[in-house]
A and B are shown apart, each in its own frame.
Chain A
Amino acid sequence: MNLQYSGEEAIAAGTETVWAFVTDAGKVGHCFPDLIEVTVQDPTHVEAVVRVGVGPVRGKFKLKVELLPDAERRRIDMKISGGGFGSAVDLTAGADVVDAGAGRTLLKWGGQAVARGPVATVGGRVLDAQAKKLIEQAFANVRQTLSAAVS
């Protein structure tokens, strides 16, 4: 099941602050919704255990996250793969860090996910809406955490 999402977050912080945050594996790891545990492997790799509930399918997902910042410090890509309870998800996401002026930053994000197993089949009817909600929540968490830090 192929899923595609996009959106943007307006953050009350400068691009350098935002860039430093989104390229920090530990900080990004803590922005996953329903996080149970996060382990930073190295500056660009983090493992996260999250609670997942899609329709009748509920359990834990173990995710491996790899951060892929570009050299121009304007875009961060992410590869997320993992799964649990017989399901698997492969997600690629990217965010452009755009200077919005007046010390503000726009985080324009997009991504696509492939879900397999019970999470895609049994939970298929509600997966799209649920996944969209989770991804939006993850980037909202980035905004909230950064905004709180700045204020």
Chain B
Amino acid sequence: MSTDSKPAGSIGVAMKRKEDPRFIQGKGHYVDDITMPSMLYMALVRSPYPHAEITSIDATEALKVPGVKAVITGKDLDAAGLGWLPTFHGQDKQMVLAIGKVLFQYQEVAAVFAETRAGAADGAEAVEVEYTPLPVVADPFTAKTDTVILRPDREIKSNHIFHWEVGDKEATARALATSATRISQRMWFQRCHPAPLEPCGCVAHFDTMGRLQFHVTSQAPHVYRTALSLVTGIPEDKIHVISPDIGGGFGNKVPVYPGYVCAIVGALKLGRPVKWIETRTENLTSTGFARDYHIDVEIGATADGKVTALRVATVADHGAFDAAADPRGFPAGMFGIVTGSYDFPAAHAEVDGYFTNKAPGGIAYRCSFRVTEASFAIERGMDILADELGIDPVELRRKNFVRRDQFPYPSPLGFTYDSGDYHKTLDVALEKIGYQALLKEQAEKRARGELMGIGISTFTEVVGAGPSKQFNILGIKMFDSAEIRIHPTGAGIVRAGTKSQGQGHETTWAQIVAEELGLDPQNIMVEEGDTDTAPYGLGTYASRSTPVAGAAIAMAARRIREKARKVAAHLLEVGEADVEWTDYTFQVKGVPARRVTMKEVAFAAYTNMAQNEPGLEATYYYDPPNMTFPYGTYIAVVDVDRDTGEVKVRRFLAVDDCGTIINPVIVEGQIHGGLTEGFAIAFMQEIQYDSEGNNLTTNFTDYLLPTSLETPHWDTAKTTTPSPHHPIGAKGVGESPNVGSPAAFVNAVIDALSPLGVRHIDMPLTRDKVWRAIQAAEAKKASA
């Protein structure tokens, strides 16, 4: 019988991150750390014009720069059939290098290859490009007029890209028309950018077998392999994609960018490895941005505050190409989550996307396919409705929440929410922050003319794409996968189709395996990001890793457990039916003293397996039956300086319910990170363009990242409502804080300014914008 000590559980244990020692010691291994013999460097020539015809490109002087080996242009690529890239949802294409004209400032125009990084930069500087400027379309409302058609390459001669709608339009209109109270508000969720600390980059190399070895900062290595095969015509077995450590992604590293194709072409043409690493400016100006939704929200309600209908119409600025990495058929992503946590009898949402002379993208920045825009719209809308009705925003929300007994809840816009107890989470938050005391303090301060605000956001997210019957990228169904091998000593390796960019998969995945098999998580190695070894997966973004790959890992582990049961029966000298898995060991039913551990079974699987198949391995491809719906209640408390417009976030409480928590430390870290990003979006971040299409935010002096000096203190708490369809009940949490927090911040500031009559200010709430709103409100009052 067993001589091992009794194994303990791993789920819910605040285990230190296994990957941290290497990162803390500066031993992470990133793409830019890779060097190869005779490696060349690539630099891109980019357009200073947002919209212009290319009159000529002259590389003569560039080729004279010492060390420059080649220059390629869009014409060269087009002649080779590589002029355009398909975008992930398959409804548009994007120029690799500009052909004929440029469509946004900093668009890729030519690629220069040289012996050194500096030589490549000097070569790019020496390429002479002549442009003839064309009229610039710098906003989607101008684009709407079709006065200037930006994409004559398309069959449809219009800047309108798509119309998407969901819900019952007529019923919503009828309900709004007969509602006792009705509010409407235009709000712009500004264009912002995830700005990962490590920009994008790659090293492309054809090995002696003619096989492409492609090291790249990719959140979805397998999808890259397939996409590169489709674009270049290289058979997929001749492409090996490796994503080493990644210094932050937040959706920015999901799309395949033109620079990657150029580096591959350069490596093929010159027969040498090619490295390309973006500059910060290139990252901010040409890679996947986020948001840029102009949203009109209308809500109807009864006189006592019961919501009757929601209508949302959105104009979306997609930039020069429709390169938002949405699943096919979902051009507005999961924007249908816009009814949020509330039980609307009728709802209708529509989104119209337009081309403009701006960088392409649209769904990055920790937002799970437009969920952030949707959450912001409904959470701002509910506060405006509360203001209109003169009801406490907390009570308005409580009155309209989907009730616990309504789950699984079919939303009017097509989702089936899996589980939740919104009232409970709200109550935990109100209790923890001392809401009644805050209201009393606010009343006292208002009496003294001070501006104190309390903002609440009770958001619901939708993550974990997705059921394969609904979602695909480039036609590939959105499942995910895991392969587990348990070694004779009870150590093991798990490989997954996901790719951590800081989420802590090396720890979390090991904990799931350890929990399912009663093993030590310290001895479970996690490997991701190598398409030669990991099973095919769709990658890490949109909070899908734990809901999908985490489930695959649990299911693969359970397959191993079933195989191990046979070996355990042999060791325990009983029939398989007499063996049960209890307390992380195999036991003879009714005789708990007769037990063997998984470690003992693993050894036997290689040494004493009797008639059973040797080894202990399993693979599982998990196709989720539904998405998961994490939610939370966030409360911000702010003080606004009436004279300067400065906002101080005095307190912030995040109560999240992400279902079963695998590692509380990692979840809390995710929440802290996401809240800091949400804070940045609310108060400081905007990718700004002027009316000429110039990007005015090309570096970190203009596009701000909060440091520890600006970042508020975060208080966190949790409730736990497991997902009923996930093997371990987990829902995902990575994006919740970014999704839920911007509305809490803005609601708090508007609440502070509401005595002055301020109803809405678009983000970012910079101090000059807040100051101007105060000045305008006071001037209006004075003139009344």
Contact = CB atoms under 8 A, between A and B. Distances in A.
A114 B692 contact: yes
Contacts of B133: 90
A112 interface: no
Interface in B698-722: 698-699, 702
B125 A85 contact: yes
A88 to B, nearest CB: 4
Nearest to A116: B48
Given A59-B125, A121-B702, A87 B48 contact: yes
Given A2-B692, A88-B131, A117-B48, A122 B125 contact: no
Interface string A117-132: 1101110100000000
A90 B50 CA distance: 14
Nearest to A2: B692
A118 B690 contact: no
B105 A84 contact: no
A-side interface mostly: strand
A88 B49 CA distance: 7
Contacts of A62: 128
For this complex, into which size category does the number of interface residues on chain B fall? 20 to 34
B140 to A, nearest CB: 21
A121 B46 contact: no
Given A90-B133, A116-B49, A121 B692 contact: no
Contacts of B125: 59, 84-86
A89 B559 CA distance: 65
B692 A124 contact: no
A85 B279 CA distance: 14
B776 interface: no
A83 interface: yes
B587 interface: no
Contacts of B49: 88, 116
A121 B50 contact: no
B694 interface: yes
B692 A1 contact: yes
A1 B694 CA distance: 7
Given A84-B125, A88-B48, A90-B133, A116 B694 contact: yes
A83 B694 CA distance: 15
Contacts of A88: 48-49, 131
Given A87-B48, A116-B48, A118-B281, A124 B105 contact: no
B695 interface: yes
Interface string B89-120: 00000000000000001100000000000000
B697 to A, nearest CB: 8
B696 interface: yes
Contacts of B696: 121, 124
A83 B695 CA distance: 17
* Residue among A85, A90, A115, A118 with most chain B CB within 10 A: A118
Nearest to B702: A121
A84 B129 CA distance: 10
Contacts of A114: 692
B421 to A, nearest CB: 49
- What secondary structure prevails in chain B residues at the interface with A? loop
A81 to B, nearest CB: 9
B692 A83 contact: no
A88 B105 CA distance: 11
Nearest to B691: A2
A35 B688 CA distance: 33
Contacts of A115: 694
A87 B694 CA distance: 11
Interface string B253-275: 00000000000000000000000
Interface string A1-26: 11000000000000000000000000
Q: Choose among A85, A90, A114, A120 the residue with the greatest number of B CB atoms under 10 Å from its CB.
A: A120
A1 to B, nearest CB: 6
Contact of A1 (B128, B281, B690, B698): B690
A40 B697 CA distance: 38
A83 B702 CA distance: 23
A86 B47 CA distance: 7
A104 to B, nearest CB: 39
B699 A120 contact: no
Contacts of A2: 692
A95 B695 CA distance: 32
Contacts of A85: 125
Given A1-B690, A2-B692, A121-B696, A116 B50 contact: yes
A85 B168 CA distance: 53
B692 A117 contact: no
A115 B105 CA distance: 12
Contacts of B48: 83, 86-88, 116-118
Contacts of B694: 1, 115-117, 120-121
Contact of A118 (B50, B692, B698): B698
A85 B692 CA distance: 19
Interface in A67-122: 83-88, 90, 114-118, 120-122
Contacts of B106: 86
B105 A117 contact: yes
B105 A122 contact: no
Contact of B695 (A84, A90, A121): A121
A30 B632 CA distance: 68
Nearest to B695: A121
Nearest to B109: A86
Interface string A37-62: 00000000000000000000001001
Contact of B105 (A59, A83, A116): A116
Contacts of A59: 125
Nearest to A83: B48
A106 B133 CA distance: 34
A85 B281 CA distance: 13
B65 to A, nearest CB: 14
B131 A122 contact: no
A122 B50 contact: no
A88 B131 CA distance: 10
Interface string B136-158: 00000000000000000000000
Q: Among the interface residues A83, A84, A117, A121, which one has the most CB atoms of the partner chain B within 10 A?
A: A121
B399 to A, nearest CB: 48
Nearest to A88: B48
Interface string A121-148: 1101000000000000000000000000
Nearest to B690: A1
Contacts of A86: 45-46, 48, 106, 125
Interface string B34-58: 0000000000011011100000000
A115 B712 CA distance: 38
Contacts of A121: 694-698, 702
A122 B46 contact: no
Contacts of A90: 133
A149 to B, nearest CB: 35
B691 to A, nearest CB: 8
Interface in B667-699: 690, 692, 694-699
A118 to B, nearest CB: 7
Interface string B276-310: 00000100000000000000000000000000000
A87 B702 CA distance: 18
Interface string B566-609: 00000000000000000000000000000000000000000000
Given A90-B133, A115-B694, A116-B694, 13 more contacts: A86-B45, A86-B48, A86-B106, A88-B48, A88-B49, A114-B692, A116-B48, A116-B49, A117-B48, A117-B105, A118-B48, A118-B698, A121-B696
17 contacts: A1-B692, A2-B692, A83-B48, A84-B125, A85-B125, A87-B48, A88-B48, A88-B131, A90-B133, A116-B48, A116-B105, A117-B48, A118-B698, A121-B697, A122-B281, A122-B699, A124-B696
Interface of A: 1-2, 59, 62, 83-88, 90, 114-118, 120-122, 124
**What 8 pairs across the A-B complex have the smallest Cβ distances?**
A117-B48, A88-B48, A116-B48, A121-B698, A120-B694, A87-B48, A121-B696, A116-B694
